[in-house]
Amino acid sequence: MRTVSTPSSPLSRRGALRGGALAAAGGAGLLVPPSAAAASPGAPGSAALLRSGLPTITHGVQSGDVTAGGATVWTRADRTARMFVQVSPTGTFGADCRTHRGPVLTAASDFTGRLELTGLPSAAEVPYRVVLGEPDAHRPDGHGAEGFLRTAPATGDARRIRFLWSGDQTGQGWGRNPDIGGFPIYRAMAARDADFFLHSGDTVYADGVITGDVTLPDGRVYRNVVTEEKSHVAQTLDDFRGAFRYNLEDEAYRAFFARIPQVNQWDDHEVHNNWFPHQLIDDERYTEKRVDVLWARGEQAWREYVPISSNRTSSVYGQFSFGPLLDVFVLDMRSYRDQNPWGWAGGGIRPDGGILGAEQAHWLVEAMAASTARWKVVQADMPIGLVVPDAQTDPAGVEAVAQGDPGVPRGREQQIAWILRELKARGVRDHVWLTADVHYTAAHRYDPARAVFTEFDPFWEFVSGPLHAGSFGPGDLDPTFGPEVVFQAVPPHANTSPLEGSQFFGEVEIDPDSQELTVVLRDIAGAALWSRTLTPTS
């Protein structure tokens, strides 16, 4: 891969976003390289472009895992093709354009691929364009799609940071609905002009079927766009891939991810509801009962379709730094866990189990202790204090961390207790936990003065979601770590559809002068429901 350094871009990010929105209206931000027009599912002129015989981008572009000097860029082609990424400081893709030759996209990865850009300037606005070519091409000659990203600030560069988080996409049978513009929350999130987006998992509902129209309790009809892959649960590798393609066929979804870099984690629905390693699932819809087989296929599809860097090849968890004000610690609370009934019934955890596994738990403590950032954000795919039962493993099933009793830490709570104790002992303060999973939005403050286990410093946990799924809640809080509900917004009834609202995302902004961190919980239209500004303690 050839790398280049480019000067800081004079292009206004807000102007670029505005331009991207206009382009999206005509085809999801797709550009026209000199040789031909661009193509996208449903875009004007797509048929003519396909007749041209040139490789075509099918599902837009995405970026993710940004650093102070690089980013990972993703796309998908309609056939075997070479991927190129062009970077233009001015966004004109003229004489200042630098071209990076990328990999060949083949059927082995469902024609998806990614290219890791390095040598980019820090805290810079980076317009880019992905262009395809024939497999042996040394310069791009196919169709292209435009994207935009901002790199992270450098170590000593205290800049204002704004980012979003949420999770839970296309669940409970609520799919793309043309009456509400597909996935409408992505338009509201795009308007927030964020630096990046933390995706808190349940990226797809591989086990969730999208059927026909659904009549709501108030008599309205929710219309679903149905595809073959989403008409049944995912078991084959192509089934899992089809779940990702279903989301990317929404215009607002593609436009948002073409403009906002992602930091991705996963949870259960990328594979199967509430799964744990080595499980044999009891679900009559499946002919393949071994969750480890489904896990391998689901993880492969996830890694093919989200823009994660090669630094996360062997694990999902990792650390991302955004200058002196912020470090983000991405957790994987799925792959290393004990069986769901273990903690509840037995009271203990395996030495290498718990909710994170021993290696990841020790990594988290050491990484947070070594961090010099003002704020440490833990990107957790499940809440700590909310009781999330697992009906599949009755009578002793617990899906998340909280055991549902008021006593001392048991089961997976023991591992969280160890982490919190270690953070206090090492003087790690100003850590904030962000999560999704429970399909409503809330703010929880954990305080040892209210807790059974008291060996920790107070901290906040903020919950947001779903992005586009059924809404539920509220859940019960376990008092072991002393959580208090400071705010929550819940739907009027269980499994509220996106047509009825109750879809949520969260926003975090860090001020470079005061170093205060402000959290805003927002609804499907982007309206602020609640906010709180936190002052650093050290």
CA separation for the pair 535, 311 (Å, rounded): 33
Contact between 98 and 50 under an 8 Å Cβ cutoff? The reply is: no
What pLDDT sits at residue 34?
A: 30
Report, at the CATH architecture level, how domain 13-150 is classified. Answer: Sandwich (2.60)
Pull the structure tokens for residue 510.
Answer: 């860090």
Q: Are 415 and 355 in contact (CB under 8 A)?
A: yes
Under CATH, which number does the domain 161-534 receive?
3.60.21.70
Distance CA 474, CA 472 (A): 7
Distance CA 450, CA 481 (A): 8
Asked if 24 contacts 255 with a C-beta cutoff of 8 angstroms, the reply is yes
pLDDT digits (tens, 9 = 90+) for 139-176: 888 889 999 999 999 999 999 999 999 999 999 999 99
How far is Cα 206 from Cα 240, in angstroms, rounded to an integer?
A: 6
Asked whether residue 28 carries a pLDDT value surpassing 90, the answer given is: no
Of the chain, the end-to-end C-alpha distance in Å amounts to 43
Q: What would the pLDDT profile of 198-227 be if each residue is shown by its tens digit?
A: 999 999 999 999 999 999 999 999 999 999
Residue 2, pLDDT score: 26
Neighbour-count burial of 295, counting CB atoms closer than 10 A to its CB (0-12 exposed, 13-18 middle, 19+ buried)? buried
Which of 45-54, 149-158, 185-194, 441-450 is predicted with the least confidence, judged by mean pLDDT?
A: 45-54
Average pLDDT taken over every residue of the chain: 89
84-141 pLDDT, tens digit per residue, is 999 998 888 888 899 999 999 999 999 999 999 999 999 999 999 999 999 999 988 8
Reported as a single tens digit per residue, the pLDDT across 59-79 is 999 999 999 999 999 999 999
Boundaries of every domain in the chain: 13-150, 161-534
Distances (CA, A) of 80 to 52, 110, 174: 15, 9, 33
- C-alpha dihedral (354, 359, 360, 366), degrees to nearest 10: 120
For the ranges 11-25, 340-354, 454-468, the lowest mean pLDDT is seen at 11-25
